[in-house]
A and B are shown apart, each in its own frame.
Chain A
Amino acid sequence: MPNPSKKIILYFPSEFVERPLTNEIIQKFGLIVNIFSASISSDERGFLGIELSGNADKISEAVDFIKSQGIEVKPLGSRISRDEKKCVNCGVCISICPVNAIYQKDFEIFFDSEKCIACGSCIESCPFKAIFSGE
């Protein structure tokens, strides 16, 4: 049986950016940490996509530890779509996106699927429930 693994996305404010968090996780919990995406958005919020593999209990302990550091943790979701009938092009989802994958052009909202890390943050921020994961 392969080792259990979990892909998560971490969001952290700028002061965490320089912190060697992955080393801490490796040392504290004996997990293998694989970073699959990392970025700092223009407003200096950072996000990190990591895959944790190893003991399942240790994985959940590690996730709790990360959360206790004031870092937001989300499981990696699937593709993000927008229901154009429901969307009112308000733009409140734009400022939430950690990787600036949402932009407004001529007052219409667009998602850049190249940039999107499917964190799902925009889903809960949309008052019109216009964003969903999946096709």
Chain B
Amino acid sequence: MRRTFEEVNKKISEKKAVVVTAEEVIERVKKDGKEKVLEEVDVVTTATFGSMCSSGAFINTGHFAPKMRIQKAWLNGVQAYAGIAAVDLFIGATELRENDPLNSSYPGNFSYGGGHVIEDLVAGKEVEMNAVSYGTDCYPCKELSKKISLKNLRNAVLCNPRNAYQNYNVAVNKSKKTIYTYMGKLLPNLGNANYSSAGQLSPLLNDPLYEVIGIGTRVWLAGAQGHVFWQGTQHAPDAERTPNSVPKEGAGTLALVGNLKEMNSRYIRGTSFTGYGASMALGIGVPIPLLNERVLDFVSVSNSEIFAPVIDYSSDYPSANEKSLASVSYAELRSGEIEVCGKKISTGSLSSYSMAREIASLLKQDIEEGKFLLAEAVQKLPSASNQKKPGSEKDA
């Protein structure tokens, strides 16, 4: 043990902590050697920014006069789930507008959904709320139409059942026609390949066996300080791994929670996938203290050592018969071209590496300035072989 959480937090409070990003640490190790980095660096920051389905926000509107037990509610025309309590709602990232033409004129635009509602709220915009109910003796109001804004909500909590996928598929299309997926537009005959991970900067790729990040870990969530509250849904630690423990497919996920009122709309945005639907892009940063040499080995992982499976989304994925056509490294993906089935394919990234870098630097700065203390996990996430593989569960 080189340093403990307590020691790191003491240094952070004194504004003396030495912090580098998960990208910088790779160069530092190459230049100075492991021993020196382990001696000097206290914390490594990781980050990711991309569309993350399985996100949403609980909001409590507060009561209006006369009071209402909201039965159904819509925010800017997007339905929010109201079956929780009188004035508690959950707005999900992928919910669509009530009158959205969907794919009736294929491919649909899906220009506005739950993620856009959340973005508008965080940006301080007014959102039109419509609600209906049946009326009770204690809650007589049956219909409500009101402008709401984030600052007037009693509570607003981002609560995401599954974020920060440890690794992810590279999507291609083997068929003869263009397809529209949650991995973007895929051109026929292996015309392009889309991937979605920040690779060497991504949180769980820097802690492949969940030895540091766990339940209770404090995270940077769209500019606010939030927490990991559970393993994410579909968390599948028993994925196939390379000899350095990095999963070669989806694997781990995180469930995250944070105060929506403290977030910054630059890092939480509605997204639209032509022909597929709407979602929400989110920026996440996770600090990893250099507790020991093993942690340093893990955070030093670089794009050339991280591999993702290439999956056909025209037939194999939809028919739940996913087989990897090739295993490609993030270094290859980032180069702009990969080779699959003997064909060179140009690549596109759904996750923004430039935003991930920005977030890793912002988190680094917050820690250096003593504004972000680390929280040690109160419980570990299920790790490899702690849990039986529940089968292939990698749906968006």
Contact = CB atoms under 8 A, between A and B. Distances in A.
Contacts, number: 94
Contact of A127 (B178, B281, B345, B353): B281
Interface residues of B, number: 40
A125 B353 CA distance: 18
B348 interface: yes
Chain A interface secondary structure, helix, strand, loop or mixed?
A: loop
A100 B347 CA distance: 12
Nearest to A89: B354
Contact of B348 (A13, A88, A91, A108): A91
Interface string B152-183: 00000000000000000000000011100000
Interface of A: 13-15, 42-43, 45, 70, 72, 88-96, 100, 104, 107-108, 121, 124-125, 127-129
Contacts of A42: 344, 346
B245 interface: no
Q: Which of A15, A70, A88 has the most CB of B within 10 A?
A: A88
Nearest to A124: B274
Contact of A124 (B107, B176, B187): B107
Contacts of B271: 127-128
A127 B185 contact: no
A12 B306 CA distance: 33
A8 B51 CA distance: 33
A72 B173 CA distance: 15
A89 B177 contact: no
B103 interface: no
Contacts of A121: 185
A107 B187 contact: no
Interface stretch (B68-76, B191-199, B293-301): B191-199
22 contacts: A13-B191, A14-B189, A43-B191, A43-B346, A70-B176, A88-B352, A89-B352, A90-B351, A90-B353, A90-B355, A92-B194, A94-B347, A95-B346, A96-B184, A96-B185, A104-B336, A107-B353, A107-B354, A121-B185, A125-B274, A127-B272, A129-B272
Given A94-B336, A124-B185, A124-B274, A88 B354 contact: yes
Contacts of A96: 184-185, 187, 192, 348
B189 A90 contact: no
